[in-house]
Chains A and B, each alone.
Chain A
Amino acid sequence: MAELCGVVGIGQTQHDAKRTDVSAPGLLREAATRALEDAQLTWSDIDAVVIGKAPDMFEGVMMPEIAMGDALGAAGKPILRVHTAGSVGGSTAVVAASLIQAGIHDRVLTVAYEKQSESNAMWALTIKIPFQQAIVAGAGGYFAPLIRAYMARSKAPEDTGIRVALKDRLNALKNPYAHLKIPGVDFDQVANSPMLWDPIRYLETCPSSDGACAMVLSSEKAAESAPTRPAWVWSTAMKSEPTMFSGRDQVNPQAGKDCAAELYKKAGITNPRKEIDAAEIYVPFSWFEPMWMENLGFAEEGLGWEMTYEGATALDGDLPVNCSGGVLSSNPIGASGMLRFAEAAMQVRGQAGEHQVEGARKALGHAYGGGSQFFAMWIVGSEKP
């Protein structure tokens, strides 16, 4: 029987296009310090540090974590890094939680970050490697055809993506940490924004952000002294599949479906739409909301768009999705997954302020990465499992 794991501290930075006021270690320190303050703990209370970020090429620093031990108070403690492309923020939290669940440590600090202003992820994702298939258009160029395929399959109304973007941009106005805030944003502004990668418009895509997120995870015993109610980890799951193979369904990947099925089974959830009160889903391009609603089993295949269209995923809907404004509003890539996990935990701790879902008791955090091939998820609850 695994030990219980609780989230007792959460911190995030002010996300912005350029945080030139801090170094990269200073950026993740800002999030980590806030997580410790939230937990009313100090560096010496932490047993181990688990860090995640997107591929090294994004900032051009090889293995940056080995130079960040001092910024994370890791001297004399284990520090380890998790690599799973864009899903890494989620996977990092899952690995950190496993150290608690396995009974190895009582308090683990987990941190994820990206400082996109120091590089250009679009370029890093556009490298033409000899003898290999070229992506040559960044993430948007890779995912746009998958969205087109989804539109063709589902016959979803053309403006579904605009509605997702508008919802998330309005939610971001309620999140003090969000990077991209557009006061007064409306349907026409999103609809009239430039087409970047057909069918993805400028305001339907995520920004490039500098930012970090951190959580203090605790054993049940160590959580007894927590100053505020922990978010209890009900289940975690990770799955992967190769980027390219014949017959792979990139629109609705099997790894995502399997990951969700395992997650619900471990948490004893049989009707996710009914039993989950809020979800933070990795949606870097608007149309991924309906796509992931289906992949996660919240909607039948081909009907995910109806949830968006009917307002089910709005802050006052029956399954509020990305109340924080989501990846569309803040995208420090390596941290984007952990922000989803942390925002889910904030919801069940009642910490989400203006974007709080009233009475949220169970929330899902989701991250995906690579060519829709790495998945990490967790369900957290206000009560112990």
Chain B
Amino acid sequence: MASGDGGLLSASHIVEYPYRRSTGPVMGRFFAALRDRRFEGVKTARGRVLVPPTEYDPQTGEAADEMVPVGPGGVVTTWAWVSHPRAKHPLNHPFAWALIQLDGADTAMLHAVDTGVESAMQTGMRVTPRWRAQTVGSINDVACFEPEGTS
């Protein structure tokens, strides 16, 4: 027990427990594809391809379960430059957070883009994923995106 304001007692309270998540058939396939260094989206009944996929069309509520390959390249639709990366950021040098619309997708998803310098970032630029050497089935299996033709 520690002493708080005015000598009244306070105490820290740390709650820890390992929770578990079931991804379900749609997100589960999305993550499994990442492990294989591929992207998959879901096609809704109205023909829109959502990436990352959702189990249900957010507008109509209809179930969406037709998985379709997308990417691996895509287009930056908007971005924000990070001049001073923090410890938990995906890159330890300046980079951009960007919304990336993968080829074949109708929606954009958030990821990091490594151009080295801000002047190389442009809305509309084409990017491709840089995969990690080890993949586990996580969005972080993509280390970041980089301008097409970089490597």
A interface list, Cβ under 8 A from B: 19-26, 29, 43, 57, 59-60, 69-75, 115, 117-120, 123-124, 127, 129-131
Could you tell me the distance between the alpha carbons of A146 and B24 in the complex, rounded to whole angstroms? 40
CB-contact partner of A115 in B12, B22, B23, B56, under 8 A: B22
Distance between A63 CB and nearest chain B CB, rounded to angstroms:
15
Q: Which residues of A contact B19 (CB under 8 A)?
A: 59-60, 118-119
- Residues in B whose Cβ lies below 8 Å from that of A118: 19-22
Find out whether the CB atom of B58 lies under 8 angstroms from the CB atom of A123: no
> Is B151 part of the binding interface, using a Cβ–Cβ cutoff of 8 Å?
no
Cα distance, A19 to B62, chains bound together (Å): 22
Residues of B within 8 A of A72 (CB): 61
B1 proximity list for chain A (CB < 8 A):
130
Tell me if A's interface is mostly helix, strand, loop or mixed.
Answer: loop
8 Å CB contact of A119 from B9, B20, B54: B20
Cβ A43 vs Cβ B17 within 8 A? no
Residue from B22, B26, B55, B59 within 8 A of A75 (CB atoms): B59
| Chain B: minimal CB distance from A124 (Å) | 8
Give the Cβ gap from B18 to chain A, nearest Cβ, in Å. 9
**B21 contacts across to A, CB distance below 8 A:** 23, 118
- Count A-B contacts at CB 8 Å: 73
Please, how many angstroms separate the alpha-carbon atoms of A70 and B59 in the complex?
7
Interface size class of B (residues with CB under 8 A): 20 to 34
Evaluate whether A26 and B17 lie within 8 angstroms (CB atoms) in the complex, with A73-B60, A74-B61 already known.
Answer: no
Determine the distance from Cα of A26 to Cα of B26 in the docked complex, in whole angstroms: 10
Judge whether B13 is part of the interface by a CB distance below 8 angstroms.
yes
A69 to B56, CA, bound (A): 9
User: For the complex, is B87 an interface residue (Cβ under 8 Å from A)?
Assistant: no
Chain B residues within an 8 Å CB radius of A73: 56, 60-61
- Known contacts A43-B60, A60-B17; can you find 7 more A-B pairs with CB under 8 A? A23-B21, A23-B22, A26-B25, A75-B59, A75-B60, A118-B19, A119-B19
Q: Is the CB of B57 within 8 A of A70?
A: yes
**Which B residues fall within an 8 A CB radius of A?**
1, 9-13, 15, 17, 19-27, 54-63
Given the known interface contacts A43-B60, A130-B1, A130-B11, the answer about A123 and B24 at a Cβ–Cβ threshold of 8 Å is: no
Complex formed: what's the CA distance from A33 to B56 in Å?
Answer: 12
Listed by A's residue number, 8 A-B pairs whose Cβ atoms lie within 8 Å are A22-B24, A23-B24, A26-B55, A70-B61, A71-B55, A72-B61, A73-B56, A131-B11
A184 CA to B62 CA, complexed, in Å: 42
Taking a contact as CB atoms closer than 8 A, the residue among B9, B56, B59 that contacts A71 in the complex is: B56
| Nearest residue, chain B, Cβ from A69 | B58
Assess whether B58 is in contact with A70, with CB atoms less than 8 Å apart: yes
Main SS at interface, chain B? loop
| Inter-chain contacts of B22 with A (CB < 8 A) | 19-24, 115, 117-118
Q: Residues of A contacting B23 with CB < 8 Å?
A: 23
Residues in chain A near residue B17, CB distance under 8 A: 60, 119-120, 123-124
Asked if A117 contacts B54 (CB within 8 A), the reply is: no
* List of B residues within 8 angstroms of A123 by Cβ: 17
Residue of B1, B13, B24, B54 ringed by the most chain A CB atoms within 10 A: B24
Q: Which 3 A-B pairs have the closest CB atoms?
A: A73-B61, A23-B24, A130-B11
Scoring A24, A60, A115, A129 by chain B CB atoms within 10 A of each residue's CB, the highest score goes to: A60
Q: Are A26's CB and B60's CB within 8 A?
A: no
A26 close to B61 (CB less than 8 A): no
Minimum Cβ distance to chain B for residue A35 (Å): 14
Interface centre among B17, B59, B61 (most CB of A within 10 A): B61
Q: Tell whether, in the assembled complex, residue B24 and residue A26 are in contact, meaning their CB atoms are under 8 Å apart.
A: yes
How far is it, in angstroms, between the C-alpha of A71 and the C-alpha of B27 when the chains are bound? 14
Cα-based distance from A201 to B54 in the complex (angstroms): 43
| A26 vs B23: C-alpha distance when bound (angstroms) | 9
- What is the chain B residue whose CB lies nearest that of A67? B54
Residue of B nearest to A68 (CB): B56
In the complex the two chains form, is B27's CB within 8 Å of A70's CB? Answer: no
Question: How far apart are the CA atoms of A250 and B15 in the complex, in Å?
Answer: 28
Complex CA gap A70/B61 in Å reads 5
A29 with B20, Cβ < 8 A, contacts A72-B61, A130-B11 known: no
Taken together as a complex, chains A and B put the C-alpha atoms of A74 and B62 apart, in Å, by 11
- Specify which of A60, A75, A117 is in contact with B61 (CB 8 Å cutoff): A75
Q: Which residues of A contact B15 (CB under 8 A)?
A: 57, 127
Q: Which residue of A lies closest to B17 (CB)?
A: A123
- How far, in whole Å, are A59 and B21 apart by their CA atoms in the complex? 9
- Contact between B11 and A25, CB atoms less than 8 A apart: no
